[in-house]
Amino acid sequence: MSNLGIGQLAKRAGVAIDTVRYYERNNLLSPSTRLASGYRRYGDAELKRLRFIRRAKALGFTLEDIRGLLSLSNERSVAKVKQAAEAKLADVEHRIEELERIRDGLRTLVKACPGHGRAEACPILNSLNAEDVP
Amino acid sequence: MSNLGIGQLAKRAGVAIDTVRYYERNNLLSPSTRLASGYRRYGDAELKRLRFIRRAKALGFTLEDIRGLLSLSNERSVAKVKQAAEAKLADVEHRIEELERIRDGLRTLVKACPGHGRAEACPILNSLNAEDVP
DNA sequence: CTTGACTCTAGACCATGGTCCAGACTTTAG
DNA sequence: CTAAAGTCTGGACCATGGTCTAGAGTCAAG
């Protein structure tokens, strides 16, 4: 079992030292112990936990979401964890659909635009000025 | 052509009054005129523009992105407009790809999770706890 | 033991995207 | 005309997720 200082921990997890302390202030991660000097010491559990946080963040969870996930893992409430992941999945899928609509719109405009001539002939400009639905 | 006060405009676009003024401070939207009293007056063009901003924001564009999108319509060079639209298209495509990776990760985890039992059996928690390289 | 690297705390600062407030003035309905 | 509702400005304040600094103390190698 490794016994890491904050710098080593941060390096191994791929985050900044300040971020580790920031997470501590925000109740996401505490050192397993402190030296008499006050230096933080971390073990494998904390390294895992920090990597958990980093990954969950990469998956689009906010720090608050992650606090929730971490506390669920203590409660051993697998159903709730799955629910949270499903909700986040639905959210991500929704955002993809919206972006795909935008992408298709942009593609159509780019294809239709001659790239020269008068502004009134540019479908991109005309589209931005179009009438929208409330 | 409607001639709206800031409250009416905000209401019709579905945003708060303060948000309208905030957008003005940040060069996203100006009133078409002001009354002698200083009261802002908006026309249809501003209402459209504000709705455009709202929708673009809902799609995950930052206000700076939106400033860029909106400035396309001021651009007199059709070639530049087309270029900017192409850049934004590439940007959108990139964002879609990132979200798709996130989506696939979440899907895999959700499928693999039984939704009950001990935490140690939950692949969502286990995956986030996995020991991979930073 | 000394020196350089590391860590401590508290608090300031950053960007983003708002949101709210006070105190004064304007507009509008009755 | 009066009162209520709306708007004005400037500045303070909020949450999120950090990032940086100062000044002091600690640890580890030579």
Given a cut of 60, whether residue A134 has pLDDT beyond it is no
Cα–Cα distance list, A118 to A105, A126, B24, B83, B84 (Å): 21, 12, 29, 15, 17
Please name the member of A12, A92, A110 whose beta carbon is closest to the beta carbon of B85.
A110
Cα(A14)–Cα(B7) distance, integer angstroms: 48
Reported as a single tens digit per residue, the pLDDT across B92-116 is 888 888 788 878 878 888 888 877 7
Q: Is B74 on the interface with A (CB under 8 A)?
A: no
Cα(B57)–Cα(B66) distance, integer angstroms: 8
Mutate to test the interface with A, among B128, B129, B131 (most CBs of A within 10 A): B128
Cα(A72)–Cα(A80) distance, integer angstroms: 7
Where do the domains of chain A lie? 77-134
Q: Is the CB of A8 under 7 A from strand C?
A: yes
pLDDT band at A3 (very low <50, low <70, confident <90, very high): very high
Number of CB atoms found within 10 A of residue A30's CB: 13
Rg, C-alpha atoms of chain B: 22
Residues of chain B with pLDDT under 50: 132-134
> Hey, what are B8's tokens?
């009416």
Closest CA to A67 of A77, A53, A46, A82: A53
Q: Is the CB of A38 under 7 A from strand C?
A: yes
Q: Is A92 on the interface with B (CB under 8 A)?
A: yes
Reported as a single tens digit per residue, the pLDDT across A92-106 is 888 888 788 778 877
Q: What ipTM was estimated for this complex? A: 0.72
Nucleotide nearest to B36 (CA to C1'): C26
Backbone φ, ψ for residue A35 (5° rounding): -70, 165
Rg, C-alpha atoms of chain A: 24
Beta strands in chain B (DSSP E): 33-34, 40-41
Closest CA to A77 of B12, B70, B23, B118: B118
What is the fold of B1-59? Multidrug-efflux Transporter Regulator; Chain: A; Domain 2 (1.10.1660)
> Hey, what are A6's tokens?
């904050």
Q: Is B100 on the interface with A (CB under 8 A)?
A: yes
Q: Is A100 on the interface with B (CB under 8 A)?
A: yes
Q: Residue B104's pLDDT is what?
A: 86
Rounded distance in angstroms from the CA atom of residue B120 to the C1' atom of nucleotide C18? 42
Rounded distance in angstroms from the CA atom of residue B37 to the C1' atom of nucleotide C25? 8
Reported as a single tens digit per residue, the pLDDT across A24-78 is 999 999 999 999 999 999 999 999 999 989 988 877 788 998 888 787 766 657 7
Q: How many CA atoms lie within 13 A of B115 on its CB side?
A: 4
